[in-house]
Amino acid sequence: MWDYSDKVKEYFFEPRNAGVLADANAIGEVGAIACGDALKLMLKVDPATERIEAAKFQTFGCGSAIASSSALTELVIGKTIDEALKLTNADIAEFLGGLPPEKMHCSVMGYEALQAAVANFRGEAWSDDHEEGALICKCFGVDEGMLETAIRVNKLTTLEMVTFYTKAGGSCATCAEGIEAVLARVNAAMVAEGTLDATAAFVAGASTDPSGVIRKPQAGKATNRPVFEISDDFVPLEIFNDEIRAAAPKPKLTTLQKIRLVEEVVAEVRPALQRDGGDCELIDVDGDKVMLRLKGACVNCQLASMTVNGVQQRLMERTGLPLRVVPVQAAAH
Amino acid sequence: MSVRPVYLDNNATTKVDERVVAAMLPYFTEQFGNPSSMHAFGASVGGAVRDARGKLQRLLGSEFDHEIVFTSGGTESNNAALLSAIEASPGRSEIITTAVEHPAILATCEHLEKTRGIKVHIIGVDARGRLDIGAYRAALSERTALVSIMWANNETGTINPVADLAELAKAAGALFHTDAVQAVGKVPIDLKTTSIDMLSLSGHKLHGPKGIGALYVRRGVRFRSLLKGGHQERGRRAGTENTPGIVGLGVAAEIAHANLAADMSYISGLRDRLEKGLLQRIGKSFVTGDTANRLPNTSNIAFEFIEGEAILLLLNRAGIAASSGSACTSGSLEPSHVLRAMGVPYTAAHGAIRFSFCRDNSAEDVDQVLNAMPGIIERLRELSPFWTEGGAATSTFQPTYA
């Protein structure tokens, strides 16, 4: 049986706002192809203030789909349309105390129903480009559609690169076989379409490293965490392109060269952090320690340690040195 | 207040019979010897294994006891049968199976297709789950290495005419294997009168322990072992024997064999009463599978316009354990491939609930389900966008599928 949180059970067994809302003026009807679930969200919006006065739902779906729908209605009642549109599926999942990775699509369905209802209210057509496929990585909830997109957009050709870009396979690594199958299929399709060189394409079983494709960190003592814990903010790297990899600096660097490289990497990372309202600043480099100050949204972010790890991993890749990123507190100015 | 537990998921697994447990216990402690050993510790255990083999032989009606190879369960037996047939049939490179097999067959076939270039013919079924015999005949040829068709389907209980199907395979010179995990102990089986070459069974489906099963391999059938590295089971399944499991399976087979007719008439009586009662009380529901020809213990009922996991969660709160063909109850989110193969519409397939009985169930169990179910279905239908005021709303509700 699924490991549902108490909140999910509560909202399934005693759903709030279930049923038909007779005087609804914003209705969203969506379905999740992954499991065949469907949701009808009915909102009553005050046309003058655009405030959502009432919300009800009807759901054809499993326990978490019903709970997610009910949670959605609770979240949107009292909000204006603009406020409601800021909600994401993660807010629904968080409201429910988390969902099993396989069930995250239930919260996505709620998010889409809200978008569809608002479009209906505004007299717009709503269509969705979200694609789903079989769940491949259970640890990070990465499905086949997400993998395929990442592989195509970034021309990924190794399991390691897929893990960097999507996190899939970065934790327990038991899905490596599944990722490789997707990688081989998508690469083959890309070769056929002429978007990838046949010599670069991934071929299952052709790895030169029979000891397993997901390696332990070579930096050894620098960190005892798996290197593939990469932040949500982690920016995919051009470094994996062969020509850049070939041009990557040799391990023997002067201190000045090392600091310059560190500065470069930090500069590359910042735009991604800034997009999410955060930032970071390089404070000092001392031996193998890189002192980094997290700023803005990064400071209290639950993913801060993952951000640090992501930057650290990137620094090590780039410099070839066992660098360790040490987050430092904001110093008094 | 605690509810009275009602277990109606016996096709998933069964409770180990107390007589089985009692027979097994000495083989963990005083009878711990390795049957291969020369000394006295081993010798008596070897006798117990022989005994168990004989009991299973009688349940299956096989000609010789050495036709039974103990394995770790149904999945291993299925894997061993398929791989062996391919390795032992040079010049033949095709497998015929059905769309409604257990994943232990379908996934293994897919693997053989991918890694060994085997061509796999997957035969479809009709709306009642009955095999397309015409397609089966057409697929058989001198290229067929193996036919693997389940004796009875785990989800609907539909029984295949395996004896007849095996004759057709024999005529084409192909081996015939049947996954009888759900059938053994529930229907009379007499292998010596059939042309079935291999048969898989599992202990925990017939009140035996988990982790033990068997593969029947007809005398004279070419067999290549899956596990290498030991002489056990006449070299057909290497690895020290799971003696407590084997002894347990033997006793479970003995009990099933002795009571087969009486148990099955009792069980089918309960099943039929539940089925009739539910169909009377709940509209827009129907039985799936071939009601004229199915396991006596299985009932699969589709309740339209609602989803199975939600039903199971509410049933569970009422103390009732059943299972569902719904996508959401499987880790993969795949809806039941069996009901899809039968062409059951998805708004019904998702709400399909399987009740599977055993000899431990009672009339009281049936009453408890009959009391609980109508309220559960009504409640979920009120929540369903496909349902309005006592009727289907499928024509008005047209969601955008993303």
> Is residue B14 predicted with pLDDT exceeding 70?
yes
Q: Which residue of B306, B333, B399 is in closest CB contact with A35?
A: B333
Interface subset of B 150-189, CB within 8 angstroms of A: none
Is A298 annotated as catalytic?
no
How close B268 comes to chain A (CA, Å)?
28
Q: How confident is the model at residue B391 (pLDDT cuts 50, 70, 90)?
A: low
B398 touches chain A (CB under 8 A): yes
All residues of chain A having their beta carbon less than 8 Å from the beta carbon of residue B326 are 62
Strands B298-303 and A324-327, bridge-based pairing: unpaired
Lowest mean pLDDT among A81-90, A155-164, A286-295, B220-229: A286-295
Q: Which residue of B313, B347, B350 is in closest CB contact with A12?
A: B313
Is A301 annotated as catalytic?
no
All residues of chain A having their beta carbon less than 8 Å from the beta carbon of residue B103 are none
> Is residue B127 predicted with pLDDT exceeding 80?
yes
pLDDT in tens, A41-86: 999 999 999 999 999 999 998 899 999 999 999 999 999 999 999 9
Q: What is residue B332's predicted lDDT score, i.e. its pLDDT? A: 54
B347 touches chain A (CB under 8 A): yes
Q: How confident is the model at residue A266 (pLDDT cuts 50, 70, 90)?
A: confident
Cβ contact B271:B297 at 8 Å: yes
**What is the interface size between A and B, counted as CB pairs within 8 Å?**
103
- DSSP one-letter string for A263-279: HHHHHHHHHHHHHTTEE
Q: Which residue of A35, A109, A128 is in closest CB contact with B328?
A: A35
All residues of chain A having their beta carbon less than 8 Å from the beta carbon of residue B382 are 18-19
> Is residue B133 predicted with pLDDT exceeding 90?
yes
Q: What is the mean pLDDT of chain A?
A: 79
Q: What is residue B118's predicted lDDT score, i.e. its pLDDT? A: 96
pLDDT in tens, B187-217: 999 999 999 999 999 999 999 999 999 999 9
pLDDT in tens, B326-361: 666 555 556 788 998 999 988 888 889 999 999 999
Structure-model confidence comparison of residues A268 and B332, the more confident one: A268
User: What six digits make up the tokens of B86?
Assistant: 């391919």
Q: What is residue A206's predicted lDDT score, i.e. its pLDDT? A: 62
Sheet of A289-296: strand order equals: A278-286, A289-296, A324-327
How close B127 comes to chain A (CA, Å)?
20
Lowest mean pLDDT among A81-85, B91-95, B192-196, B387-391: B387-391
Q: What is residue A240's predicted lDDT score, i.e. its pLDDT? A: 38
Cβ contact A29:B385 at 8 Å: yes
Q: What is residue B130's predicted lDDT score, i.e. its pLDDT? A: 97
Average pLDDT of the segment spanning A3-9: 92
**How many CA atoms, within 13 angstroms, populate the side-chain half-sphere of residue B252?**
31
Interface subset of B 313-342, CB within 8 angstroms of A: 313-314, 316-317, 326-329, 331-335
Lowest mean pLDDT among A28-37, B308-317, B341-350: A28-37
How close B311 comes to chain A (CA, Å)?
8
All residues of chain B having their beta carbon less than 8 Å from the beta carbon of residue A103 are 328
**Cβ within 8 Å, pair A66-B326:** no
| Spatial distance between the Cα atoms of B75 and B85, rounded to a whole number of angstroms | 16
Q: What is residue A273's predicted lDDT score, i.e. its pLDDT? A: 81
Q: What is the mean pLDDT of chain B?
A: 93
**Cβ within 8 Å, pair B400-A30:** yes
In the set B12, B120, B122, B328, the catalytic residue is B328
> Is residue A236 predicted with pLDDT exceeding 80?
no
Q: What is residue A229's predicted lDDT score, i.e. its pLDDT? A: 40
Query: Could you report how far apart the first and last alpha carbons of chain A are, in Å?
Result: 54
